[in-house]
Amino acid sequence: MTSTPIISKSEIASVPANNAVLPNISWQTYQAMLTDMGDQRSIHLAYYHGVLEIQMPLGLHETINYILERIIIALTEELDLGIRGFGSTTLNREDLAVGVEPDCCFYIQNSDRISGREIDLANDPPPDLVVEVDITSPSNRRFAIYRDLGVPEIWKYSDSNIHIYKLQANEYLESEFSLAFPIVSGEILNRFLQQSVNDDNKLIREFRKWIREQINS
């Protein structure tokens, strides 16, 4: 198992062209940018103690994210679990000076603790599962934000593979199996993601079949 590094200002000089990392940004400026940009946008922001990262996802990024969302929803339906999906909603804690917009996030074990359609992390628990899709830019810098927020599990897609990370002793360690869905491993997720299927519905039907086989075995 491997741990994930903390964000560092020394990384600023080596970010991809579709990303920007800006130092010395105040919390007030970050909040003003969120307000000015509004909710209907593809750009994602991440804020960590004065360092602002601006990420502009590309097409393949959205395709992978869509499939992973459908896989997670299928799991909750077949396993009869509650779920509250909040997409790439902004997860902010001013007292911790951190904020982030995941590719998608879900309440599963804590779905019954969330009322309404907005999250207040000053009172609500963090999402149970966050998804980060790395196509042209690494999300490792964002892991420190999720750690400070207390997100228990991250699925990270990078190098054409899914990696599952669990928060243990205040750091993210790669794990074979999911915390939210113990029957699911990174190997299983990769097996389905790497299938040469030109129909998303067919992939999900095959995945649902696999889930039912595990339940009945």
Q: CA separation (Å) from 15 to 87, 122, 194?
A: 25, 31, 27
Instruction: Give a yes or no: residue 31 inside a domain.
Output: yes
Instruction: Give a yes or no: residue 3 inside a domain.
Output: no
Instruction: Give residue-wise pLDDT tens across range 135-188.
Output: 766 777 899 999 999 999 999 999 889 999 999 999 999 999 999 999 999 999
Residue with the bigger pLDDT between 59 and 46: it is 46
How many domains does the chain fold into? 1
Instruction: Give a yes or no: residue 41 inside a domain.
Output: yes
Instruction: Give residue-wise pLDDT tens across range 32-41.
Output: 999 998 877 7
- The percent of residues in the chain predicted with pLDDT above 90, rounded, is 73
Alpha helix positions (H), the chain: 27-37, 59-78, 140-149, 186-193, 200-216
Contacts of residues 60-64 at CB distance under 8 Å and 24 or more positions apart, as own/partner, are 60/135, 61/103, 61/133, 61/135, 61/136, 64/133, 64/135, 64/157, 64/193
CA 54 to chain centroid, in Å, comes to 16
Mind giving me the DSSP string for 63-117? HHHHHHHHHHHHHHHHTT---EE-TT--EEEGGGTEEE--SEEEESTTGGG--SS
Average pLDDT over residues 24-28: 97
Query: How is residue 75 written in tokens?
Result: 């799991």
Q: What is the largest CA-CA distance in the chain?
A: 55
Contacts of 36 (CB under 8 A, 6+ apart): none
Instruction: Give a yes or no: residue 96 inside a domain.
Output: yes
Amino acid at 180: A
Instruction: Give a yes or no: residue 123 inside a domain.
Output: yes
Whole-number pLDDT of residue 136 = 67
> What does the CA dihedral 197, 203, 206, 211 come to, rounded to 10 degrees?
140
| Cα dihedral 69, 70, 73, 74 sign | negative
Instruction: Give a yes or no: residue 60 inside a domain.
Output: yes
Whole-number pLDDT of residue 18 = 66
Instruction: Give a yes or no: residue 185 inside a domain.
Output: yes
Average pLDDT over residues 83-91: 95
Task: Supply the range of the domain harboring residue 15.
Answer: 9-216
Query: How is residue 137 written in tokens?
Result: 């830019």
Instruction: Give a yes or no: residue 137 inside a domain.
Output: yes
The 10 Å Cβ neighbour count of residue 42 is 11
In this predicted structure, the answer to whether residue 2 has a pLDDT above a threshold of 70 is no
Provide the CATH number for the domain around residue 33.
3.90.1570.10
